[in-house]
Amino acid sequence: MSFISLRDIEFRYPGNEDRPAVLRDFTLEIAQGEFIVMIGPSGCGKTTVLNLVAGFEHPSRGMVIVDGEQIRKPGADRTVIFQGDDSLLPWLTALENIEFGPRVAGMSRRTRRDLALRHLELVGLGGQGHKRPSELSGGMKQRIQLARAMVCSSRILLMDEPFGAIDALTRASLQDELAILWGRTRSTVVFITHDISEAVLLADRICVMTAGPDATLAKVIPVTLPRPRDRSLPEFGTMYGQVHAALSSTRNGGAPTTDAGE
């Protein structure tokens, strides 16, 4: 059975009923523990899809269902990681930011501190927990965001270009760390990117979207490369080319050829 279902979704912003829809006839089924990457032209509604699953937005038509329940509002089972670092609380240290979720959930001080310290080590920032966000680089802040999301043990991670504003070397390192952490937790991930290499490195399936308005799925591409993935292998380049061709087709007005099932 599907864990996340987006069924025949149409989305329009309130007051824009007489304009083309942001999304139209959008259907996608996601299995539990699957890593889904969404890619497509700017303005194609990728972030809208993520916001619908998060419960921040509601479809004008259709349904979003998670584990058998229709989504009507945000929930603790879904954690969102945005691009940039402004979601960190500037008055808290890095360690206290990671602890924040368990603290709100009522976890004891000692238990949440031990948990936060372990995740600080997992993202390569052991010994940096005393620093406040203003003392951290962009890459370090994104690592803290990742640790903060993982420590909450959410069943679903929704990631909106989380590495988009980071230099190439740090970005590659964070991509590798995310792949390792996902392999340990097997959370269900919906990840947005404009980077084809990032999509091929991380995804179980890559969802290529058409240009907006009235955006929908153009193609769903399974990524069958074994993990961990090596960017230098010919097979990686072949998959890159397949995704690039699908994206080029959407920009040139190619018709959707989606198979949106599991």
Q: What is the pLDDT along the chain (262 residues), one digit of tens a residue?
A: 689 999 999 999 887 777 889 999 999 999 999 999 999 988 888 999 999 999 999 999 999 999 999 998 998 888 888 776 567 888 999 999 898 878 877 888 899 899 889 888 877 888 889 999 889 888 788 888 888 877 877 789 999 888 876 778 878 888 888 898 888 888 899 999 999 999 999 999 999 999 888 999 999 999 999 999 999 999 999 999 999 999 988 766 554 544 444 4
Q: How far is CA 22 from CA 36, 47, 55, 131, in A?
A: 20, 11, 17, 41
Tokens coding 224: 């069958």
- Spans of all domains in the chain: 1-77+157-262, 89-153
Q: Which CATH class is domain 1-77+157-262?
A: alpha beta
Secondary structure tally for the chain: helices H, strands E: 7, 10
Residues 6 or more apart in contact with residue 234 via CB below 8 angstroms: none
Tokens coding 183: 């392999």
Q: What distance in Å separates the CA atoms of residue 230 and residue 22, rounded to the nearest whole number?
A: 36
Q: What sign results for the dihedral spanned by CA atoms 166, 84, 139, 239?
A: negative
Tokens coding 229: 């993935």
The conformation of residue 91, written as its DSSP 8-state character, comes to T
Q: What distance in Å separates the CA atoms of residue 216 and residue 254, rounded to the nearest whole number?
A: 12
Looking at the DSSP bridge assignments, the partners of residue 6 are: 28, 64
pTM: predicted TM-score of the whole model, two decimal places: 0.85
30 in Cβ contact with 188 (< 8 Å): yes
Per-residue pLDDT at 85 = 57
Looking at the DSSP bridge assignments, the partners of residue 70 are: 65
Per-residue pLDDT at 244 = 95
Q: What distance in Å separates the CA atoms of residue 28 and residue 111, rounded to the nearest whole number?
A: 38
Instruction: Give me the torsion for CA of 53, 56, 171, 97, rounded to 10°.
Output: -120
Per-residue pLDDT at 66 = 94
